[in-house]
Amino acid sequence: MSDQQEFPDNTAEYTDVEHTETASTEHAAGTELALPGQNLPDKVYIIPIHNRPFFPAQVLPVIVNEEPWAETLELVSKSPHHSLALFFVDTPPDDPRHFNTDSLPEYGTLVKVHHASRENGKLQFVAQGLTRVRISMWLKHHRPPYLVEVEYPKENTAPTDEVKAYGMALINAIKELLPLNPLYSEELKNYLNRFSPNDPSPLTDFAAALTSATGNELQEVLDCVPMLKRMEKVLPMLRKEVEVARLQKEISAEVNLKIGEHQREFFLKEQLKVIQQELGLTKDDRSADIEQFKQRLEGKTLPPQAHKRIDEELNKLSILETGSPEYAVTRNYLDWATSVPWGVFGQDKLDLKHARKVLDAHHAGLDDIKSRILEFLAVGAYKGSVSGSIVLLVGPPGVGKTSVGKSIAESLGRPFYRFSVGGMRDEAEIKGHRRTYIGAQPGKLVQALKDVEVMNPVIMLDEIDKMGQSFQGDPASALLETLDPEQNVDFLDHYLDLRLDLSKVLFVCTANTLDSIPGPLLDRMEVIRLSGYITEEKIAIAKRHLWPKQLEKAGVSKNSLSISDSALRAVIDGYAREAGVRQLEKQLGKLVRKAVVKLLDDPKTVIKIGPKDLEASLGMPPFRNEQVISGTGVITGLAWTSMGGATLPIEATRIHTLNRGFKLTGQLGDVMKESAEIAYSYISANLQQFGGDPRFFDEAFVHLHVPEGATPKDGPSAGVTMASALLSLARNQAPKKGIAMTGELTLTGYVLPIGGVREKVIAARRQKIHELILPEPNRGNFEELPDYLKEGITVHFAKRFTDVAKVLF
């Protein structure tokens, strides 16, 4: 006998229809059906089955493969008893001709074969379960047909009271299962009526067959011959089946209820719509949309082209199906086109007193800016209307550019709309996308007009110097049409494809620097510079605006918390020296938060912040009162940065006299390096004229350094300063103390004008330098400065470098 004898992967299958087709014996096999216990043979052929065990109480069709079971069924049909044994195998082996006899379970079921037939390589027969069967000896096991000698277990036929009770419980559980699962049909009810608690064995087997338990669990029931034990196994399985069926029924009932409610609601709504339309109470979606768009156009003055285009789109909308994609596109277009405030203009408040009051209430200082804005408004008042203009506010961060724009809108009584163009890469954000694209939208300007509902708002384009460029286009160039007074009368938005008159819009742009703004765009704007604030202005801003704002933000009353003027000055000098007031606002917020912590501990306390309290709350001040560096070869220059003005010391020293040479350090840009070369060449060539040894540079290796090497520096305005440092070194004479300078130097010794005079003067005041050298061409810029900036400052204007040398030495 081979140890490795296997089953086929197509071991016998019987269709899993015990829930529907477990029928009465009369239905299944006609007159040939046998009764259990009659003519039980000693020797039978066996066939393994693999989906689930077959029970004695079942009558079911079984399907097997013609190869290798045809011979087995042939022999069964010739036998006098027409019976064979079905044994359950959990995993069918690959080859049916060899299998391990030890893998068969202890018990199988003896079945009588009825109505065998052959079709498409399959054999089908009806199996009538008779009784449990156990193999006592293998007679033929090498290959099918397999023949065995069998024995039949003896069951106790006299049921006890306990067995009867279990039988009743099984019948009740089956009756519970019937209404919960429609798969159990009428035949099953008839079958159940034939069972009684006095015949418990078939009842128990039938109950087990009803469950959806696994094959191995059912085999355990088949292997269990003692009646009571078998019933104890089957009852929990059946109860579990009842619970699962009940749960499934509840879930389906809940789902059906929800679906039913939604369907009912939907049908009622649709009926209501039809009834309302029939009675003329409401219109359908299309009519409602068309009416809404026509209402929006009432009171607006449309140009003929726009009127014609919108009428065409309304006609198109009236014939399109509401469900079509084209309907949605057309509806979206009309939604935008009718939202534009065609011909609607707001009334300007051209009252200069009101405008001055608004500007003074919102801003301390900035007198030159306010006067420029008032001049601009005065022209509008004289003419009767402020026509569209483009103002560009340039200045360091935190000086109040955005809030100046808001003040202009408030003083005019116009709505204000702000959007940032910083980082914008796509020109479609200005001019809109064409309608052919999915998700197309009009540009920001059309969106602004829709929001403000007038054609003459104040529109702020923030961070205009930080616009990007990409393969999608150049938004700065797209702004040319928007901001050019000659072109924006007929501004074309790609989405609407209609001409819009933007000539009445007042555009206010903001930027930190002018370097990155394209020339043609800059040419169309009126530039107003906002320089940094001096300490006195910052104190006024802090007292009037920033401190009250921080107190309000924290919900603290001014009686509980106050700050002295000297403490404010100390915060400005030690912690917030930048040109704007944003850093100052942050530091004041920090002071308020620290004070709130103390107020929580003792709400009745009154806190007064003085200069001595600052270090405890804000830490060590990052800015110290620096000594202006002085000595031979050291000159203080004045520089302009995007954060405002700054002082810039420049140092020159001789390293050795072995050979001629010139070395530059500090993070300098190309223009600044060229300025240094020019200064070196000029002083070398003209040293005798300035009272120095003409041979000094012939044998000196000179090092010129601009401190703060981590900060990038560029620009021509340090030329005069560098030349002065080199001259001081060559004459071995320290320059006059307490003096700072700026100016571009030429190779022939002329001093050329520079920019940022205001910022540089403020930087000098901050460092308590009161004597300056400026280029003669910048005299006008200095004279324009407000008196409080010029007060106490002595300025020498230089045409040539000789003028500079006279003042210094």
Maximum average pLDDT range among 226-235, 349-358, 550-559: 226-235
- Taking residues 236-244, what's their average pLDDT? 91
Flag whether 766 is in a domain. yes
- Taking residues 594-606, what's their average pLDDT? 85
pLDDT surpassing 80 at residue 619: yes
pLDDT surpassing 60 at residue 16: no
pLDDT bin (cut points 50, 70, 90) of residue 432 is confident
- Taking residues 487-511, what's their average pLDDT? 86
Residue 770's alpha-carbon distances to 204, 646, 664, in angstroms, are 113, 15, 29
pLDDT surpassing 80 at residue 12: no
Question: Per mean pLDDT, which range of 93-107, 559-573, 647-661 is the poorest?
Answer: 93-107
Between 372 and 592, the more confident residue is 592
- Helix 801-808 to helix 719-731 angle (10° resolution) is 50
So what's the pLDDT on residue 7?
35
Computed from CA positions of residues 548, 553, 558, 561, in that sequence, does the dihedral angle turn out positive or negative?
A: negative
Flag whether 450 is in a domain. yes
The answer on 504 and 364 residing in a single domain is yes
Question: Per mean pLDDT, which range of 11-15, 19-23, 480-484, 803-807 is the poorest?
Answer: 19-23
pLDDT surpassing 80 at residue 582: yes
Q: 613-641 as b/e, with b when 16 or more CB fall inside 10 Å?
A: bbeeebeebeeeeeeeeeebbbbbbbbbb
Was 92 annotated as part of a binding site? no
pLDDT bin (cut points 50, 70, 90) of residue 284 is low
CATH number at residue 81: 2.30.130.40
pLDDT bin (cut points 50, 70, 90) of residue 126 is very high
- Taking residues 221-244, what's their average pLDDT? 91
DSSP per-residue letters across 278-328: HHTSS--HHHHHHHHHHHHHTT----HHHHHHHHHHHHHHHHS-TTSHHHH
Was 402 annotated as part of a binding site? yes
Between 651 and 631, the more confident residue is 651
Helices (runs of H) and strands (runs of E) counted in the chain = 29, 25
User: What phi and psi, each to the nearest 5 degrees, are found at residue 458?
Assistant: -100, 115
So what's the pLDDT on residue 240?
92
E-strand ranges in 295-431 read 390-394, 416-420
What percent of the chain is predicted at pLDDT more than 90?
A: 14
Kindly report the number of other CB atoms within 10 A of residue 527's CB atom.
Answer: 14
pLDDT in tens, 746-780: 998 899 998 888 888 888 887 788 889 999 998 88
Q: Are 434 and 495 in contact (CB under 8 A)?
A: yes
pLDDT surpassing 80 at residue 28: no
CATH number at residue 396: 3.40.50.300
Question: Per mean pLDDT, which range of 149-163, 183-197, 481-495, 585-599 is the poorest?
Answer: 183-197
So what's the pLDDT on residue 642?
62
Instruction: Specify the residue for token string 């202005």.
Output: 537
Maximum average pLDDT range among 83-87, 152-156, 299-303, 758-762: 83-87
**Domain limit, last residue, from 504, 529, 554:** 529
Question: Per mean pLDDT, which range of 179-183, 576-580, 707-711 is the poorest?
Answer: 707-711
553 sits in the region (left: phi over 0; alpha: psi -120 to 50; else beta) called: alpha
User: Taking CA 263 as the corner, what is the angle to CA 260 and CA 264, rounded to the nearest 5 degrees?
Assistant: 85
Assign 81 to helix, strand or coil. coil
The answer on 228 and 99 residing in a single domain is no
The answer on 550 and 407 residing in a single domain is no
Residue 702: which domain range? 634-808
The answer on 792 and 648 residing in a single domain is yes
Flag whether 253 is in a domain. no
pLDDT in tens, 354-413: 888 888 877 776 777 788 778 877 887 787 777 767 888 888 888 888 888 888 888 888
- Taking residues 614-621, what's their average pLDDT? 84
The answer on 762 and 660 residing in a single domain is yes
So what's the pLDDT on residue 709?
57
Flag whether 483 is in a domain. yes
The answer on 768 and 679 residing in a single domain is yes
pLDDT surpassing 90 at residue 68: no
Question: Per mean pLDDT, which range of 180-189, 460-469, 704-713 is the poorest?
Answer: 180-189
The answer on 314 and 356 residing in a single domain is no
Flag whether 256 is in a domain. no
User: What phi and psi, each to the nearest 5 degrees, are found at residue 67?
Assistant: -100, 115
Flag whether 266 is in a domain. no
Query: Which candidate, 71, 23, 25, 80, places its Cα nearest to that of 47?
Result: 71
pLDDT surpassing 90 at residue 149: yes
- Taking residues 428-449, what's their average pLDDT? 86
Computed from CA positions of residues 174, 175, 178, 184, in that sequence, does the dihedral angle turn out positive or negative?
A: positive
Whether 717 is catalytic is: yes
So what's the pLDDT on residue 607?
85
Q: 675-710 as b/e, with b when 16 or more CB fall inside 10 Å?
A: bbebbbebbbebbeebebeeebbeebbbbbbbeeee
**Domain limit, last residue, from 593, 618, 643:** 618
Six token digits for residue 225: 């011959």
| Sequence-separated (6 or more) residues with CB below 8 Å from residue 347 | 413
**Structural domains in the chain (count):** 6
The answer on 644 and 525 residing in a single domain is no
pLDDT surpassing 90 at residue 54: yes
pLDDT in tens, 305-332: 888 888 888 888 888 887 788 888 888 8
Was 749 annotated as part of a binding site? no
Assign 568 to helix, strand or coil. helix
pLDDT bin (cut points 50, 70, 90) of residue 30 is very low
Assign 671 to helix, strand or coil. helix
Whether 760 is catalytic is: yes
So what's the pLDDT on residue 148?
92
- Taking residues 278-295, what's their average pLDDT? 76
So what's the pLDDT on residue 788?
79
Average pLDDT, the chain: 82
Flag whether 629 is in a domain. no
**Domain limit, last residue, from 618, 653, 674:** 618
DSSP per-residue letters across 94-137: S-TT---GGGS-SEEEEEEEEEEEEETTEEEEEEEEEEEEEEEE
C-alpha span between 61 and 22 (Å, rounded): 10
C-alpha span between 804 and 776 (Å, rounded): 11
Maximum average pLDDT range among 387-391, 537-541, 666-670, 680-684: 680-684
pLDDT bin (cut points 50, 70, 90) of residue 504 is confident
pTM of the model: 0.59
pLDDT in tens, 699-741: 889 999 988 755 677 778 889 999 999 988 888 888 888 899 9
Was 145 annotated as part of a binding site? no
CATH number at residue 573: 1.10.8.60
Distance of CA 13 to the CA centre of its chain: 56
Please list the residues that pair with 48 across neighbouring strands: 87
| Sequence-separated (6 or more) residues with CB below 8 Å from residue 421 | 429, 430, 461, 462, 463, 464, 466, 467, 475, 479
C-alpha span between 502 and 445 (Å, rounded): 9
Question: Per mean pLDDT, which range of 10-24, 288-302, 340-354, 718-732 is the poorest?
Answer: 10-24
The answer on 193 and 102 residing in a single domain is no
Flag whether 106 is in a domain. yes
The answer on 787 and 654 residing in a single domain is yes
Q: Are 405 and 359 in contact (CB under 8 A)?
A: no
The answer on 790 and 731 residing in a single domain is yes
pLDDT bin (cut points 50, 70, 90) of residue 29 is very low
Was 400 annotated as part of a binding site? yes
What percent of the chain is predicted at pLDDT more than 70?
A: 89
Maximum average pLDDT range among 170-179, 195-204, 246-255: 246-255
The catalytically annotated residue of 407, 717, 724, 728 is 717
pLDDT surpassing 80 at residue 174: yes
The answer on 445 and 580 residing in a single domain is no
So what's the pLDDT on residue 184?
63
Was 396 annotated as part of a binding site? yes
